[in-house]
Amino acid sequence: MKMVFEDSNLNQLVYNALSFGTAVMLGAFVYFLTQIKSVAKQYQSGVAVSAVVVGIAGYHYYRMWSGWAEGTVNQGYRYADWLITVPLLVIELLIVLGVTAERRKKLMSTLVPATVLMIALGYPGETASSDGTKWTFWILSMLPFLYILFTLSGELKAAGAREKGPVASSMKNATAILLLTWLVYPIGYLFPVIFDAGNEGAETARQLAYTVADITAKGLFGLMILNIAKARSGDSH
């Protein structure tokens, strides 16, 4: 194996994390596919979107992992992955939230462009070498980020208040996972700014943080979406 880092332990740690990420995403892909038919018809597309998200991520993790094994780091795969999957995660949530079709359309028309803007503004900062540029794009990207988080957590709270029993509690779980995992990204991004840019420990921490957050935001969140859809399907049968 060629090495990205001089420290072989850190190199191996990131290699293992990317390999683990690939395995979890591909396993989750198969699982979500088997679950589509287990929910009522109007929620099936929500579970299908979960499968698409982890399928796309599995491919990107495979590319990042094999790149790492050859001694290269391509942050482009992460950003390409987020660019596709983050809008999809928002869409899958809106499908199971139980808002009217009209409201859903309206929410999508602002939230989807906001997610694209957030990721697109992050990339130039992620690949920049100067701290000033990194901070500038971080601040710009935080604006759509905060808008998305406030809007989604407001919708989730409102939806949770409309529901009771298992639907309400699975919505609470989904909200917690959403807020906790999404916060990891803007913090992980700053590791090379807070520490020295060439610090291999900080770079390892950033790769691990992104990987754990991706697994949680896509896989575990997908499970929460499935729980909501299942609880809802029980109600309507």
Tell me which of 142, 168, 177, 220 binds ligand RET, using CB under 6 A. 142
> Can residue 225 be called a binding residue for ligand RET (CB under 6 A)?
no
Residue closer to ligand RET by CB (options 62, 82) is 82
What's phi and psi for 164, nearest 5 deg? -140, 175
> Can residue 76 be called a binding residue for ligand RET (CB under 6 A)?
no
Binders of ligand RET in range 108-137 (CB under 6 A): 118-119, 122
Tell me which of 14, 56, 86, 95 binds ligand RET, using CB under 6 A. 86
The span from the CA of 219 to the CA of 89, in Å, is 11
**Beta-carbon neighbour count of residue 139 at 10 Å?**
11
Contact 21, 211 (CB under 8 A): yes
Contact 2, 70 (CB under 8 A): yes
Burial class (CB in 10 A: 0-12, 13-18, 19+), 9: exposed
Three-state secondary structure call for residue 176: helix
> Can residue 163 be called a binding residue for ligand RET (CB under 6 A)?
no
Determine the residue with CB nearest ligand RET. 122
Number of residues near ligand RET (by CB under 6 A): 18
- Least distance to ligand RET from the beta carbon of 194, Å? 13
Q: Which tokens go with 185? A: 């990204």
Binders of ligand RET in range 172-211 (CB under 6 A): 182, 185-186, 189
> Can residue 212 be called a binding residue for ligand RET (CB under 6 A)?
no
Residue closer to ligand RET by CB (options 11, 62) is 62
Give which of 222, 225, 195 is closest to 55, Cα–Cα: 222
- Least distance to ligand RET from the beta carbon of 85, Å? 5
- Residue/partner pairs of 165-168 with CB below 8 Å, 24 or more apart: 165/231, 166/227, 166/231, 166/234, 167/228, 167/231, 167/232, 167/235
> Can residue 61 be called a binding residue for ligand RET (CB under 6 A)?
no
> Can residue 82 be called a binding residue for ligand RET (CB under 6 A)?
yes
Give which of 46, 28, 44 is closest to 36, Cα–Cα: 44
> Can residue 51 be called a binding residue for ligand RET (CB under 6 A)?
no
The span from the CA of 147 to the CA of 50, in Å, is 23
> Can residue 29 be called a binding residue for ligand RET (CB under 6 A)?
no
Binders of ligand RET in range 87-106 (CB under 6 A): 89
Binding site for ligand RET (CB under 6 A): 82, 85-86, 89, 118-119, 122, 138, 141-142, 145, 182, 185-186, 189, 214, 217-218
